[in-house]
Amino acid sequence: MKFGTKVIHAGITPDPSTGAIMTPIYQTSTYVQAAPGDHQGYEYGRTQNPTRNALQQNLAALEGARFGVCFASGMAATDTIIRLLEPGDEVIAASDLYGGTYRLFTKGYERYGLKFHFTDMTDPAAAIAPLINANTKLIWIETPSNPMLNIIDIEAVVKIAKANGLKVCVDNTFASPYLQQPMRLGADIVVHSATKYINGHSDVIMGAVLCDDEEIHERLCFYQNAVGAVPGPMDCFLTLRGIKTLHLRIEQHCKNGAAIAHFLRDHAAVDKVHWPGFEDHTNHAIAARQMRHFGGMVSFSLKKDTLADGVRVMSATKLFALAESLGGVESLIGHPATMTHASIPLEERLKTGVVDSLIRLSVGIEDPDDLIADLAQALEH
């Protein structure tokens, strides 16, 4: 099946009890057994749920993976992957990561004896090799990255990992499986904040982990059940519904993103525009190779690079709503320095290019003329 067919059909079968074409919301915490142990494959809602199962299968198909496991948030999904490690293990992670991931790694897990090395992976060979030692187990990347829209060459990272017996996990939230499928490039694990493009309507918090390895899948399912950070059936249903238009939405996000990136680049008040579709973007050629299009995320800094100037522009937009998150049908504007990346120390933040005036746009699927007019008037303020 091609992608546009999979979003609608993969993992979805008419409900066996009624023939309902849409996956029902199995809003139940438990399942009746005919006799102890005599059940229909479902015992308790934390362990299994048919709506969740359909979503897990659908997402696995979209990423070209054998298995999918869903969680109550992207962070719960990330947390579960880190639980697969042992005290003493080391992780090499891209330095330009979602702030919450950085916070979980450093404040959540270093105290349990895990070690995280953060490095700029724009050039993987130079960045990764010097950090590998006998304790290294995992390489963690995000591409395109948040909020600098850096591109990491997934195949190059996988090559280094394979040569050293390491696993690779890719946070594919910014691309979505429509634009990029890291498992097809050799990654072992893909993680999503399905809260974002996958659901796409800013009405659900959801996470997912995809993998091919049976043992990894079993261990993820163990923690899904043992910890219980599971998504509710209603949220699984909404995500399944959002996915049905994933390919159509992303096409429009990408078209609008391109229009806005070009508009900003020509604007007198704008300093730098970060968008992988520009031919002079450091890793444009890699983006063109590993992604279908260049995405709907754009970030830019102002010539007047102060917190106050960034805040002034963000407070003046009318269509772009000032809010955390990304990937919904409506356009959002955010200020990484005080919002998504506030938990990253100033020195680290500046090192990754997150300057004071940096503004991040999640370009929605509205009419691009209206979006451009909104940014134009905000930049005049």
> Catalytic site residues?
46, 98, 171, 196
Q: Find the angle CA(183)-CA(185)-CA(189) to the nearest 5 degrees.
A: 30
By CB under 6 A, residue 205 contacts ligand PLP: yes
| Tokens linked to 52 | 């969740």
Q: Select the span of 82-90, 95-103, 254-262, 301-309 touching ligand PLP (CB under 6 A).
A: 95-103
By CB under 6 A, residue 96 contacts ligand PLP: no
* Listed residue (378, 379, 286, 334) closest to 147, CA to CA: 334
Report in angstroms how near the CB of residue 261 gets to ligand PLP at its nearest: 19
Which CB atom, from 102 or from 263, has the smaller least distance to ligand PLP?
Answer: 102
Report in angstroms how near the CB of residue 180 gets to ligand PLP at its nearest: 13
The length of the chain, given as a count of residues: 381
By CB under 6 A, residue 199 contacts ligand PLP: no
Report in angstroms how near the CB of residue 174 gets to ligand PLP at its nearest: 6
Residues 6+ apart with CB under 8 A from 139: 91, 92, 93, 128, 157, 160, 161, 166, 167, 168, 169
Q: Cα–Cα distance between 53 and 20 in angstroms, integer? A: 16
Give the residue nearest to ligand PLP (CB): 74
Q: How many chain residues are in contact with ligand PLP, going by CB under 6 A? A: 15
By CB under 6 A, residue 73 contacts ligand PLP: yes
Give the one residue of 49, 136, 180, 195 binding ligand PLP; rule: CB under 6 A: 195
Q: Select the span of 8-16, 112-120, 168-176, 291-299 touching ligand PLP (CB under 6 A).
A: 168-176
Give the one residue of 61, 75, 243, 314 binding ligand PLP; rule: CB under 6 A: 75
By CB under 6 A, residue 143 contacts ligand PLP: no
By CB under 6 A, residue 74 contacts ligand PLP: yes
Give the one residue of 68, 207, 231, 295 binding ligand PLP; rule: CB under 6 A: 207
**Which three-class secondary structure string do you get for the chain?**
CCHHHHHHHCCCCCCCCCCCCCCCCCCCCECCCCECCECCCCCECCCCCHHHHHHHHHHHHHHCCCEEEEECCHHHHHHHHHCCCCCCCEEEEECCCCHHHHHHHHHHHHHHCCEEEEECCCCHHHHHHHHCCCCEEEEEEECCCCCCCCCCCHHHHHHHHHHCCCEEEEECCCCHHHHCCHHHHCCCEEEEECCCCCCCCCCCCCEEEEECCHHHHHHHHHHHHHHCCCCCHHHHHHHHHHHCCHHHHHHHHHHHHHHHHHHHHCCCCEEEEECCCCCCCCCHHHHHHHCCCCCCEEEEEECCCCHHHHHHHHHHCCCCEECCCCCCCCCEEECCCCCCCCCCCHHHHHHCCCCCCCEEEECCCCCHHHHHHHHHHHHHC
Report in angstroms how near the CB of residue 298 gets to ligand PLP at its nearest: 15
Give the one residue of 48, 193, 199, 224 binding ligand PLP; rule: CB under 6 A: 193
By CB under 6 A, residue 276 contacts ligand PLP: no
Report in angstroms how near the CB of residue 380 gets to ligand PLP at its nearest: 30
Q: Select the span of 93-101, 114-122, 179-187, 233-241 touching ligand PLP (CB under 6 A).
A: 93-101
By CB under 6 A, residue 68 contacts ligand PLP: no
Give the one residue of 95, 106, 146, 202 binding ligand PLP; rule: CB under 6 A: 146
By CB under 6 A, residue 171 contacts ligand PLP: yes
Give the one residue of 67, 98, 140, 294 binding ligand PLP; rule: CB under 6 A: 98
> 240 with 58: CB under 8 angstroms?
yes
Which CB atom, from 199 or from 256, has the smaller least distance to ligand PLP?
Answer: 199
| Tokens linked to 321 | 């709503």
Which CB atom, from 235 or from 309, has the smaller least distance to ligand PLP?
Answer: 235
Report in angstroms how near the CB of residue 120 gets to ligand PLP at its nearest: 17
Q: Which residues bind ligand PLP (CB under 6 A)?
A: 73-75, 98, 100-101, 142, 146, 171, 173-174, 193, 195, 205, 207
